[in-house]
């Protein structure tokens, strides 16, 4: 781990303005509630300001809006959470497994590996797969044949890339499987979480563009496109042929139905079901708030009758206007 740094040294590297003693030395990051002397913490929201009064941190990162809330030495910046992330990287450099192919990995025919690729134990790489330089596959990743992974991408354990999409057609006797002949194309600087699955395309490729960040246990259906620098939290499900724009954020356990288009700059709240295309940037929320079970059941019963109540109101308005 790197040695301690003064606030002045951190500001010289990362920018920001030091308020208070610039010679204070810190050696690690910590949360406001659990930081110890020698740690630097951050405040990014007013709702956590009470924790600022009791923190044991030696210094904090905050915005100019909150600068006067504490006498502690502090770094003042425009985006405290982003600044915290960069400070954390100073003290905790990102590490990956060593470059090379583990003896316990299995590579198919015609696999192409760039320089400094790392493939962990138990990985299975299918025929004709291409993996760009500096990419890291942690243990037990499976990449099906004819998939492409770009440079500097991280794929965590248990991820499956290129399994068949859910392509079936009904006939009189049952279901007929549609061969999934597309592939998966993953851009540079992507991160794919543990046990996430990305299905191959039915005809054309499923595409994950550069800089996309996918959390754990996400399902990406066949022929989906995820635009550059979009981020998805855990347990998101994206059905086949959905087209998601750039710079979007998708909250945990959100569901995006198939064949929909979401433009750039859309932010979907956790637990929201997107059932129609989103044509304008912005934040979209579709959650039914939780409550104690008795209240929830009563409110849900009322919601089921909203259309009926609306019809009755319109009828009353019609009669009133006819007088």
Catalytic residues: 222
CA distance 139 to 199: 20
Rounded to an integer, what distance in angstroms lies between the CA atom of residue 263 and that of residue 243? 8
Beta bridge partners of 137: 119, 155
Rg (CA), the chain: 25
**CA triple 76-79-84, angle to 5 deg:** 80
Angle, CA 214 vertex, CA 212 and CA 216 arms, to 5°:
170
Contact 35, 24 (CB under 8 A): no
Compute the C-alpha angle 42/216/201, nearest 5°. Answer: 135
Element (H, E) at 249: strand 249-250
**100 phi and psi, to 5 degrees?**
120, 170
Beta-bridge mates of residue 112: 130
Angle at 30 between CA 28 and CA 35, to 5 degrees: 105
- The whole-angstrom separation of Cα 11 and Cα 74 is 10
Rounded to whole angstroms, the maximal C-alpha distance in the chain is 87
Lookup: tokens for 228:
């550059």
């Amino acid at each position: 781990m790197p040695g301690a740094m003064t606030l002045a040294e951190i500001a010289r590297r990362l920018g920001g303005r030091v308020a208070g003693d610039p010679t204070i030395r810190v050696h690690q990051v910590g949360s406001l509630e659990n930081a110890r002397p020698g740690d630097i913490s951050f405040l990014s929201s007013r709702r956590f300001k009470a924790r600022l009064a009791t923190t044991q941190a030696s210094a904090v990162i905050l915005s100019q809006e909150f600068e006067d809330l504490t006498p502690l030495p502090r770094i003042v910046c425009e985006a405290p959470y982003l600044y915290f992330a960069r400070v954390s990287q100073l003290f905790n450099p990102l590490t990956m497994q060593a470059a090379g192919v583990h003896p316990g990995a299995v590579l198919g025919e015609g696999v192409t590996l760039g320089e400094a690729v790392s493939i962990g134990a138990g990985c299975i790489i299918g025929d004709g797969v291409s993996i760009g330089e500096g990419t890291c596959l942690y243990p037990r990743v499976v990449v099906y044949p004819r998939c492409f992974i770009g440079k500097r991408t991280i794929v965590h354990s248990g991820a499956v890339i290129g399994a068949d999409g859910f392509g079936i057609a009904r006939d009189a006797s049952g279901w007929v499987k549609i061969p999934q002949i597309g592939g998966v194309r993953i851009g540079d600087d992507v991160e794919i979480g543990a046990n996430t699955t990305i299905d191959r395309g039915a005809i054309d490729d499923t595409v994950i563009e550069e800089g996309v960040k996918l959390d754990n246990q996400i399902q990406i259906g066949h022929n989906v496109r995820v635009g550059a620098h979009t981020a998805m939290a855990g347990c998101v499900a994206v059905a086949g042929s959905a087209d998601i724009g750039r710079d979007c954020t998708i909250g945990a356990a959100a569901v995006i139905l198939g064949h929909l288009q979401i433009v750039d700059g859309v932010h979907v709240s956790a637990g929201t079901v997107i059932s129609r295309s989103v044509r304008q940037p912005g934040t979209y929320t579709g959650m039914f708030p939780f409550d104690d079970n008795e209240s929830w059941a009563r409110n849900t019963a009322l919601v089921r009758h909203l259309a009926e109540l609306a019809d009755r109101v319109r009828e009353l308005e019609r009669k009133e206007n006819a007088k």
